[in-house]
Structure 1
Amino acid sequence: MSSRSSSRRTSTTDASPDDARGLPAGPLALVLAVALLAALTAAVAWGSTSIPPGEVWGVVWRRLSGEAPRPGTNDLIVWQLRVPRAVLAALVGAGLGLVGTAVQALVRNPLADPYLLGISNGASLGAVASIVLGLGAGGALGLGLSGAAFAGALATFALVWAVARRGGGFAPLRLVLAGVAIGQFLSGFTSYLVLRAGDEQQTHSVLFWLMGSLSGASWPLVAVPAVVVPAALLWLQARARGLNALLMGDETAAGLGVHVTRLRRELFTVTSVLTGVLVAVSGAIAFVALMVPHACRLVVGGDHRRLLPVSALFGALLLVVVDIVCRTAMDSQELPVGVVTSLIGAPALLYLLNRRLGSDS
């Protein structure tokens, strides 16, 4: 009897509402990885100065193998300018795909994204304060801005945590309401600081950052997300069964042996830190964290063991392609990343929701 009960518990924990519709994640992940590699190559090769893909990989190989760089501008363009930006786009896209998937499981709401918890609003306030009030050093898109943005994210995390934990427990509704209220409160301060911007250039820097930008990419800026994003993926993947159980409701998850309060607390901490890091290095990029999990669920189903890695790969591919468009669409200036993701994401999300509602009816 006990073995039968244990077997039923394991199979229920492994199950997911959308497993029947899920396609094999392995081949899809391989296709996405190859497409991502091709997109990264194109992102480095294309630009105001086009560089052949063979030469791009030659520069990368020489740098990674420790050979001396060859004289000329191509080596500088590839390694110092374009490769860090392409890698940062992939890391931020992967992180947004992960954090969107995790937040939707955290609050059991398929329309949730990191902005719902207010963390991105806090990061935006910190960054705008850095630009307008001159806090920190490093310029409009330097390390001083990133540090201020991350500090704002952590302060907001602590505030949302304190409000959501009042009265005990860690209910999703209380967490969402606390995040929305505090986020809107901080957004008001951010708007006030934008109005206080001293000159046109300062206002342009603020608005460009608020709409998302990867133009400040550098190897030092890549270092932190290069550690945090893979670590978050490994942590979330190790708790994929617990995330599956959360979607079935707290009582069911607890009956399956999941410590719901502890898992939700850890999940909120990880998603908050990851969101803070991403917003600190790229600004506020809309729709990616909301749209990517929806698109991936339609293909691989809702089992987080498959959904998390596929969401990370698809998010990385999407943002690398979007950044190519932002850099090359206009000759005279660069488009903010958030503008392009919004133009793509809004109709794409409506289409995905329409398909999902049609398949569920």
Structure 2
Amino acid sequence: MEFTQLIARKHLRWQRTIGWMVAALIMISGIYLMVGELFINPFGSLSALEQQLITQLRLPRLFAALAIGASLAVSGAVLQVLLGNVLAEPGVLGISGGASVMMVMLLFFLPALATPVGYMIAAVIGAMLFTLLLVTLTRVLRLTTTRLLLIGVALGILASSVVTWAFYFSDDMSLRILMYWLMGSIGGASWYQHVLTLFTLPVMIWLCCQGSLLDKLMMGETHAKQLGVDIESVRWKLILAVSILVGGAVALGGVISFVGLVVPHLLRLALGTENRYLIPISALAGASLLAFADIVARTALDSAELPLGVVTTTIGAPIFVWMLVKNHDAR
């Protein structure tokens, strides 16, 4: 009886957290639409300029922030299960960098296909190649946390160097603009670009429904097989799903790191590891975090706008260092 009550209380805590996260997301979204170079009073009548500002600039940018934040947080949570590593994250492991490399190659060699959908297909291919490489190395070499992180960082550096060389030898101004965007920015978000969200949203919903499957994978491959899980099939599905989410996020807003690391890891520490709740809450928390970070990026300076990736790195890097130290002490 006591065990049943304990489980019921735990589920109630998860459900209350979902309620609080939804409320926080609504509040942050409201603030997002109000603040900026021109403050908009939500309780007054809106002028034609204010209506256009909201519908054409702030709303598509807000939806971009929410989509990217949720995609990266869910990707991080799934990668941490897939790789068996609590420090796994698309940006830290170089997966986002792989997506950006393929996008730049598309822009260089197939500029006629440089559309939002074309960018996403290229980004998904790059993210999938890097994810597959990391999963294969983890399985074959049985990499420790430290070695996996080092390989991921090295892949990220390699991707950054390829992108840097490409920009260095280019005279096209659009590539220099893209360089700023690859630092992480949703300043140019438009309704047209949200065709990418039509691809990522169903994948995100599917992953949110795979909590029990992810819980079985956390027990290890042997136990998962005993419970009837087709490991190879599931692994490929998860790799494809993560690649689509990361590719869509990079195509929409550039390389934005640490969201997929900080959000699911802190939620696991605070609430537990039950993935059927953790994945949806990670989506809500990631969306809220990135919307808040973009508010800071838009309003921190009067004369310019900070790259969104810089803000998330400033927030996430100290937490990442703390997690590394904590993980080392635990060993």
TM-score, normalised via structure 2 length? 0.83
Counterpart pick for 2:125 among 144, 155, 159: 155
1:187-336 to 2 correspondences below 5 Å: 187-198=160-171, 202=174, 204-225=176-197, 227-336=198-307
Q: Following TM superposition, by how much is the alpha carbon of 1:279 offset from its aligned partner in structure 2, in angstroms?
A: 0.5
Task: Tell me which amino acid in the other structure corresponds to 2:234.
Answer: L
Q: Following TM superposition, by how much is the alpha carbon of 1:350 offset from its aligned partner in structure 2, in angstroms?
A: 3.6
- Relative to structure 2, which stretch is displaced further, 232-241 or 266-275? 232-241
Cα 1:154–1:134 shift into 2, 3 Å = closer
Task: Tell me which amino acid in the other structure corresponds to 1:30.
Answer: G
Specify the alignment match of 2:320 in structure 1. Answer: 349
Q: Following TM superposition, by how much is the alpha carbon of 1:248 offset from its aligned partner in structure 2, in angstroms?
A: 1.6
Specify the alignment match of 1:104 in structure 2. Answer: 80
Specify the alignment match of 1:62 in structure 2. Answer: none
Task: Tell me which amino acid in the other structure corresponds to 2:75.
Answer: V
Q: Distance in 2 between matches of 1:31 and 1:196?
A: 49
Q: Distance in 2 between matches of 1:197 and 1:264?
A: 39
- Relative to structure 2, which stretch is displaced further, 284-293 or 123-132? 123-132
Q: Following TM superposition, by how much is the alpha carbon of 1:254 offset from its aligned partner in structure 2, in angstroms?
A: 0.9
Describe the SS at the equivalent of 1:52. Answer: coil
Q: Following TM superposition, by how much is the alpha carbon of 1:222 offset from its aligned partner in structure 2, in angstroms?
A: 2.1
Q: Confirm or deny: 8 A CA contact 1:170 1:264 kept in the other structure.
A: no
Stretches of structure 1 that go unaligned for 5 or more consecutive residues are 1-15, 60-70, 138-143
Identity of aligned residues (%): 34
Specify the alignment match of 2:89 in structure 1. Answer: 113
Q: Distance in 2 between matches of 1:127 and 1:265?
A: 23
Q: Distance in 1 between matches of 2:79 and 2:88?
A: 6
Task: Choose 1 or 2 for highest CA Rg.
Answer: 1
Q: Distance in 1 between matches of 2:316 and 2:92?
A: 17
Q: Following TM superposition, by how much is the alpha carbon of 1:147 offset from its aligned partner in structure 2, in angstroms?
A: 4.0
Specify the alignment match of 1:95 in structure 2. Answer: 71
Q: Distance in 2 between matches of 1:174 and 1:205?
A: 40
Q: Confirm or deny: 8 A CA contact 2:69 2:259 kept in the other structure.
A: yes
Q: Distance in 2 between matches of 1:47 and 1:20?
A: 42
Deviations 1:280-316 (A, max 9, x none): 0000001111111111112221110111011001001
Aligned length in residues: 320
Q: Confirm or deny: 8 A CA contact 1:22 1:298 kept in the other structure.
A: no
Q: Confirm or deny: 8 A CA contact 2:102 2:126 kept in the other structure.
A: no
Cα 1:275–1:161 shift into 2, 3 Å = closer
Q: Following TM superposition, by how much is the alpha carbon of 1:353 offset from its aligned partner in structure 2, in angstroms?
A: 5.9
Deviations 1:218-254 (A, max 9, x none): 11212321x3443223312332112112112111111
1:147-186 to 2 correspondences below 5 Å: 147-156=117-126, 159=129, 171=139, 180=152, 185-186=158-159
Q: Following TM superposition, by how much is the alpha carbon of 1:160 offset from its aligned partner in structure 2, in angstroms?
A: 5.1
Q: Confirm or deny: 8 A CA contact 1:114 1:120 kept in the other structure.
A: yes
Specify the alignment match of 1:41 in structure 2. Answer: 30
Cα 1:341–1:22 shift into 2, 3 Å = farther
1:141-152 to 2 correspondences below 5 Å: 144=114, 146-152=116-122
Q: Following TM superposition, by how much is the alpha carbon of 1:88 offset from its aligned partner in structure 2, in angstroms?
A: 1.2
* Correspondence 1:337 to 2:308: yes
Describe the SS at the equivalent of 2:37. Answer: coil
* Correspondence 1:125 to 2:94: no
Describe the SS at the equivalent of 2:43. Answer: helix
Deviations 1:56-107 (A, max 9, x none): xx87xxxxxxxxxxx6211100111111111111111111110110111111
Q: Distance in 2 between matches of 1:310 and 1:165?
A: 25
Q: Confirm or deny: 8 A CA contact 2:196 2:252 kept in the other structure.
A: no
Cα 1:125–1:73 shift into 2, 3 Å = same
Q: Confirm or deny: 8 A CA contact 2:259 2:286 kept in the other structure.
A: yes
Q: Confirm or deny: 8 A CA contact 1:44 1:82 kept in the other structure.
A: yes
TM-score, normalised via structure 1 length? 0.77
Deviations 1:99-121 (A, max 9, x none): 11011111111111124665422
Cα 1:310–1:357 shift into 2, 3 Å = farther
Cα 1:38–1:157 shift into 2, 3 Å = closer
Describe the SS at the equivalent of 1:113. Answer: coil
